[in-house]
Homo-oligomer: A and B are copies of this chain.
Amino acid sequence: MTPPAHPAARDSAALGAALDDPVELTARLCDIPSVSGDEARIADAVEAVLRELSAGGGPELEIVRNGDALIARTSLGLRERVLVAGHLDTVPVEDNLPTDRRVLDGREVVWGRGACDMKAGVAMQLAVARALRAPTRDVTWVFYDHEEVDASLNGLGRLAADHPQMLAADLAILGEPSNAGIEGGCNGTIRVEVTTSGVRAHSARAFMGVNAIHAAAPILAALADYEERTVTVDGLDYRESLSAVGISGGVAGNVVPDACTVVVNHRFAPSTTGAEAEARLRELFAGFDVTVVDLSEGARPGLDRPTAQAFADAVGAPVAPKLGWTDVARFSALGVPALNFGPGDPLFAHRADEHVPAAEVLAASSALLAFLEPTAPAPAWADEDAR
């Protein structure tokens, strides 16, 4: 018996052996522990795979490691450069690992934490990186850490600060789940606390106090009456929203409360700046104390750029607006048009029943390969009998 190999070597061997099968690769990526903050092991494995690919039959890659994030770039001197990014971390496991291959509603799926968000997208990246022989567009592969936690930790944010020039591209594709369709840009998001104040008193002598919960009546009325807009940006319809996501107030069952806080989340179209969104909320809640909790700018879909349009043509599906905020906004802030494109239904992200349909993993991988190297031979995964 030979002694077991070093875990990192075993991980990269497991991934390397599945590079021709993005569905199996998805499962193997999920099965490497990688909850946010614990990405070192999966980053080591992905780095080893990239170094093998660079040394193997495909185009050479310039590889940079930054914490548990990786950048791997071809430098073929081609006219356009496409960046494809995916995060390596997941939200905490809910008794849904190791992965399981099962059939759900007649469709083969990979079931388990991360399958949808977004190990399937990472599998797409690695499988296409392996299949490329002579791409017609230079490629920058980005893998990063800490996407599922506080934005200040985000690995892509760190790369943008440390290596902005290495993220330059004509188009960025973020492999977040989009049902293998293209979702353009994203709405911005702002969260504010709207607070009322009053004067505490015993509720038996309520007239001696000022009730801060009663004082919140106009805030809820404004929310209930707000008419949400739909804004067309670069041909896509962005539906805005304004939602109370929390309310709290009260001291005890016999006390008139002196404070009440409503937490409001506004999602605004990418044609609106964060400052404009904040001003909109301050006007709506004029007379109340408004504190911004967090704010992330939206991202325009960038479909007016030729590379983005070419990608949409290659995928061949209609482009939808992205309503949820994603890291595409970080590319947008760098001046790089960015689209969301990845296998999986985002509605299953973060859920105990998280899964991704195998067919979407294959379709997305094939579409990305066709865009980067239109004349590539059919990949191994397209041969149904071989799988």
Contact mask for chain A residues 149-190; partner B; CB cutoff 8 A; 1 contact, 0 none: 000000000000000000000000000000000000001010
Of B223, B239, B245, the contact of A217 (CB 8 Å cutoff): B223
A residues 32-83 touching B (CB-CB < 8 Å): none
Q: Quick one: given A204-B241, A220-B213, are A247 and B267 in contact (CB under 8 Å)?
A: no
Counting CB contacts under 8 A, is A257 at the interface? Answer: yes
Counting CB contacts under 8 A, is A8 at the interface? Answer: no
Q: Quick one: given A213-B244, A220-B213, A244-B213, are A323 and B204 in contact (CB under 8 Å)?
A: yes
**Distance between Cα atoms of A241 and B204 in the complex (Å):** 7
**Across the interface, do B241 and A245 meet the contact criterion of CB distance under 8 Å?**
no
Counting CB contacts under 8 A, is A228 at the interface? Answer: yes
Copies of this subunit:
2
Of B191, B254, B262, the contact of A253 (CB 8 Å cutoff): B191
Contact mask for chain A residues 243-263; partner B; CB cutoff 8 A; 1 contact, 0 none: 111111111111111001011
Counting CB contacts under 8 A, is A214 at the interface? Answer: yes
For A250, the chain B residues whose CB sits under 8 A away are 244-248, 263
Q: Quick one: given A207-B239, A250-B246, A250-B247, are A217 and B220 in contact (CB under 8 Å)?
A: yes
**Across the interface, do A243 and B325 meet the contact criterion of CB distance under 8 Å?**
no
Interface size class of A (residues with CB under 8 A): 35 or more
**Distance between Cα atoms of A252 and B191 in the complex (Å):** 12
Counting CB contacts under 8 A, is A216 at the interface? Answer: yes
For A246, the chain B residues whose CB sits under 8 A away are 213, 249-250, 253, 257
**Across the interface, do B253 and A263 meet the contact criterion of CB distance under 8 Å?**
yes
Please name the residue on chain B nearest to A255 by beta carbon: B245
Counting CB contacts under 8 A, is A211 at the interface? Answer: yes
Please name the residue on chain B nearest to A186 by beta carbon: B204
For A224, the chain B residues whose CB sits under 8 A away are 214-215, 217
Counting CB contacts under 8 A, is A324 at the interface? Answer: yes
Smallest beta-carbon distance A85→chain B, Å: 20
A residues 260-274 touching B (CB-CB < 8 Å): 260, 262-263, 265, 267
**Across the interface, do A324 and B205 meet the contact criterion of CB distance under 8 Å?**
yes
Contact mask for chain A residues 210-244; partner B; CB cutoff 8 A; 1 contact, 0 none: 01011111001101100010000000000101111
Given contacts A245-B251, A253-B265, could you give 20 more A-B pairs where the C-beta distance is less than 8 Å? A203-B241, A204-B324, A204-B325, A205-B241, A205-B324, A206-B241, A211-B243, A211-B244, A213-B220, A214-B224, A215-B224, A217-B220, A220-B221, A245-B256, A246-B249, A246-B250, A247-B248, A247-B260, A248-B250, A250-B263
